[in-house]
Amino acid sequence: MWSPYKKWLLRDLDRWRANGWLSEEGRAAIVADVQNSASAFSLASALGILASVLFGFAAISFVAAHWEDMPRLARLLFLLACVWAGYGVAGWLEMRGQTLLADAAVLFSSGMFGASIMLISQMYNISGDPADGILLWWMGTLLAGAVLRSNPTLALAMVLVGTWSFLHVSESNTVHWPFLIGWALVTAAFVWQRWWPGLHLSALTLSLFVVSLGYLLGKGHAHGLVAVLGVLAAIGSVAIEKTRFDLDHLATPLFVYAIAVTFAGLFALQFFESPSVAQLLLLAVVTLSLLLVAIAYALSKGNRGALWIGYMAFSTEILAIYGQTIGSILGTSLFFLIAAVIVAALAYLALRLARRSTNGEQPA
C-alpha cells in the first residue's frame, strides 16, 4: 500500500480514536493490517522488477553490440537458456511463496525472449519490418502474462503493443487499426486479472491512440473527431456513474481520460490548425465552457484526477489563447473579453458551490 494512504489513514484513525468511535484494540488491528499489506509490495519485489527491466536492456544491448568473439549459435543458446532459467527461477520462487519476485522472473524471461527475436533478426539481416519482430514479442509476452497470471508481464505486453503501433505509424503515417486487437487482448487479460493499474495503462494507450487519429485521419485534420470521441466518453462515464454505482471505480478514471482526450482534440483544432479569429473565439469559448463543466462535475464528485486535469487544461488554454492573440490590439482586447467572461463564470460557479455547502452539502 502507498505511504500517503497510510499517513492519511493514521491521521484519521487518531481522530476517530479521540472521538471515541474506535477502541484502542480496533486501532491497533487496523494499523497492523495496513502494515502487513504494505509488505506485500515490498522493496525486494520492486527492486526485482527493476532488475528484470535492466537485465532486459542489457540483453538487447548485448545483441546490438554484435560481439564476434562469441559465435552466433552460442549467443542464441545463451539467450534461450536465459528464457528457460527465468521460468525455472519463477517456479522456484513461487513454490517458496515469493509471488512478486516470481513475477519479476517471468518478466525477465519475456525480456530475454524479445532479445532472442532481435538476435535472430540480426543474424539473418531481417530488415523488412522492425514492427514484425515486436508483434511476435508482444504475443509471446501476452501468452506468458496471461497463462502465468503475471501482472508486470502483462504491463510489458501493453507497452510492446504501443511500441508496435508506434513503429507502424511512424513508418507509414496511416492509422494502425490492428492496434485495437492487441489492445483489446491485453486489456481483457487485465480485466481477468482484476488489476486496476493495468487498466490505467490501457486507458492511457487508448487515449494516445484516439489523439493520434486526429493527426492521421482526414489528411491530419481530424481533431474535431478526437474532441467528439472525448466528449462521448465523458458522457458515457457520467452515465455509468449515474446508473451503476458498482462501476464507480471505472467511471471516475474514465472521466479523467475523457477530459484529456477532448482537450487534446480541441487544443489542436485551435492552435495547430489555422482557424479564423471568429472560429478561434468560438472554439475557445466551447473549450473553456466544457472545462468549467468538467471542473464543476469533478468538484461535485470529488474526482481529484479530473479536477487536476481540468485545472491544467484550463491554464494551458488561457496561456495559449494569450500567445495566439497577442500582437494585435484587437486580439488582446478579445483575450481580455474572454478572460472576463471566464472569470465571471467562475464567480458564478463559486457562488453556486458556496450556496450548496451552506445547505449542508460539503463539496469535496
Partner 1 sequence: MIVARKWLWPLLGGVALVQSVALFDMIYERHRLLTSGRELTLSVRPLDPRDIFRGDYVTLGYDISTLKKSNTESDSDFKGFIPGTPAFVTMSPKPEGGWTENHVGSVYPSEVTAGDIVLKGRVLSAWKSQDGAETIVNVRYGIEKYFVPEGTGSALEDKVRAHKIEAIVAVGSDGTGALKGLVIDGERHEDPPLL
Task: Give the one residue of 6, 27, 72, 200 binding partner 1; rule: CB under 8 A.
Answer: 72
- Integer Rg of the chain from CA: 26
The answer to whether 117 contacts partner 1 (rule: CB under 8 A) is yes
Per the CB < 8 A criterion, the answer to whether 86 and 106 are in contact is: yes
Which residues, in sequence order, are CB contacts of 201 under 8 Å at separation 6+? 155, 158, 159, 190
Per the CB < 8 A criterion, the answer to whether 240 and 247 are in contact is: yes
Pick 143 or 231: Cβ nearer partner 1: 143
Task: Give the one residue of 47, 50, 64, 344 binding partner 1; rule: CB under 8 A.
Answer: 64
Q: Three-state SS for 361?
A: coil
HEC per residue, 117-154: HHHHHHHCCCCCCHHHHHHHHHHHHHHHHHHCCCHHHH
Show the site string, 147-186: x = touches partner 1 by CB under 8 A, - = not: xxxx--------------------xxxx------------
Question: Position 344: which residue type?
Answer: A
Pick 49 or 261: Cβ nearer partner 1: 49
Pick 167 or 227: Cβ nearer partner 1: 167
Pick 8 or 67: Cβ nearer partner 1: 67
The answer to whether 129 contacts partner 1 (rule: CB under 8 A) is yes
The answer to whether 198 contacts partner 1 (rule: CB under 8 A) is no
The answer to whether 67 contacts partner 1 (rule: CB under 8 A) is yes
| Contact stretch for partner 1 (CB under 8 A) within 45-53, 144-152, 257-265, 305-313 | 144-152
Nearest to 294 by CA among 282, 307, 281, 284: 307
Which residues, in sequence order, are CB contacts of 58 under 8 Å at separation 6+? none
CB of 180 to partner 1, least distance (A): 17
Give the integer Cα–Cα distance in Å for 273 and 218: 13
The answer to whether 2 contacts partner 1 (rule: CB under 8 A) is no
Q: Which residues bind partner 1 (CB under 8 A)?
A: 64-68, 72-73, 76, 80, 83-84, 87-88, 90-91, 94-95, 99, 102-103, 106, 109, 113, 116-117, 120, 122-129, 136, 140, 143-144, 147-150, 171-174
